Amino acid sequence: MHGTIGIEAEGDEHCRRSDSFSIEASIFGVGSRIESSVEKELLSARAKEYAFLTRWLER
């Protein structure tokens, strides 16, 4: 697994985050299950992080 996370300015008060990940598990019979599980965990973590940051910025 490898990936990048980027943040780019969008005007004076905004920014845009971009994530790019590659997941590859080459294990006969279970590789695709591992890849799917990791993908779900990454998406879940991203959603939790977004919710936390939204609450924090609203303070």
pLDDT tens digits, residue range 15-37? Answer: 898 989 898 999 999 999 999 99
Of 52, 58, 49, nearest in space to 19 by CA = 49
Q: CA angle 19-25-28, nearest 5°? A: 160
Please state, rounded to an integer, the average pLDDT across all residues of the chain: 91
Backbone region of residue 19 per phi and psi (left: phi > 0; alpha: psi in -120 to 50; beta: other values): beta
Alpha carbons 48 and 27: distance in angstroms, whole number: 30
Average pLDDT over residues 4-9: 92
What is the pLDDT, as a whole number, of residue 6?
A: 93
pLDDT of residue 36: 93
pLDDT for residue 21: 87
Q: What is the pLDDT of residue 35?
A: 92
- Cα 2 from Cα 34, distance rounded (Å): 15
| Total structural domains within the chain | 1
**Residue 44: which domain range?**
2-57
